[in-house]
Amino acid sequence: MLSHVRKFACPRAFGAFGLGGRKTPSEHLNPNLETAMPRRPLPRCPRPNCSRKTTTYTKHSLLKSRRRTQRRYRCTACNKTFAANVGTPYHRMRHPAKLFDQVIALATEGNTRAGVARALGLSPGTVARWIEKASAHAQAFNELKVQKVEPVELQSDELKVLLSQKSRPLWAYTAIEVWSRLWTTTLVGKRTLRNTVLHFRDMNERCRKSGPRVLISTDAFKYNAGVIARTFGPSCVHVQVIKRFRKSRVVHADKRLVLGAPWQFDDAMERSEDSKTINTAYVERLNLTIRRSLASLQRKTNATCRSIESLAGQLELLRCSYNFIRPHSSLKFGRVNRTPAQQAGLVSERLTWRKIFTARLLDRPDLSFRSRMRARAVGQAHLSGAG
Ligand SMILES: [Zn+2]
pLDDT of residue 41: 54
> Domains (ranges, CATH) in the chain?
6-40+88-146+306-360 (no CATH), 42-83 (no CATH), 151-289 (3.30.420)
Q: How far is the C-alpha of 357 from the C-alpha of 200, rounded, in Å?
A: 28
Q: How far is the CA of 37 from the centre of ligand 1 (A)?
A: 24
**357 and 99 in contact (C-beta within 8 Å)?**
no
pLDDT of residue 105: 95
**346 and 36 in contact (C-beta within 8 Å)?**
no
pLDDT of residue 54: 53
Backbone angles phi, psi at 62, to 5 degrees: -110, 125
Q: How far is the CA of 54 from the centre of ligand 1 (A)?
A: 9
Q: How far is the CA of 26 from the centre of ligand 1 (A)?
A: 37
Angle between helices 124-145 and 97-107 (to 10 degrees): 80
The closest of 149, 142, 217, 218 to 180, measured between CA atoms, is: 149
The closest of 214, 213, 215, 184 to 201, measured between CA atoms, is: 184
Q: How far is the CA of 41 from the centre of ligand 1 (A)?
A: 16
Question: How far is residue 162 from each of residues 233, 235, 306, measured CA to CA in Å?
Answer: 33, 35, 10
pTM for this predicted structure: 0.80
Count of other CB atoms within 10 angstroms of residue 8: 7
Three-state secondary-structure class, residue 60: strand
Average pLDDT per 10 consecutive residues for the chain, totaling 387 residues = 41 40 46 48 70 67 78 83 83 88 94 93 94 91 88 92 82 93 92 92 86 89 91 90 85 87 89 86 93 87 81 93 94 91 91 87 50 46 38
CA angle 287, 226, 297 (to 5 degrees): 20
Greatest alpha-carbon pair distance for the chain in Å reads: 70
Q: How far is the CA of 287 from the centre of ligand 1 (A)?
A: 44
pLDDT of residue 23: 46
Q: Which long-range contacts (CB under 8 A, 24 or more apart) does 307-311 make?
A: 307/163, 308/163, 308/170, 308/188, 308/189, 310/132, 310/135, 311/161, 311/163, 311/170, 311/172, 311/188
Q: What DSSP string runs through 338-374? A: PPHHHHTTS-SS---HHHHHTS--TT-GGG-HHHHHH
Report which secondary-structure segment, H or E, holds 198.
helix 193-205
Mark the residues whose beta carbon lies below 5 A from ion ligand 1. Answer: 45, 47, 50, 75, 77-78
**280 and 219 in contact (C-beta within 8 Å)?**
yes
Count of other CB atoms within 10 angstroms of residue 274: 17
Q: How far is the CA of 377 from the centre of ligand 1 (A)?
A: 27
Q: How far is the CA of 49 from the centre of ligand 1 (A)?
A: 8
pLDDT of residue 42: 63
Q: How far is the CA of 57 from the centre of ligand 1 (A)?
A: 8
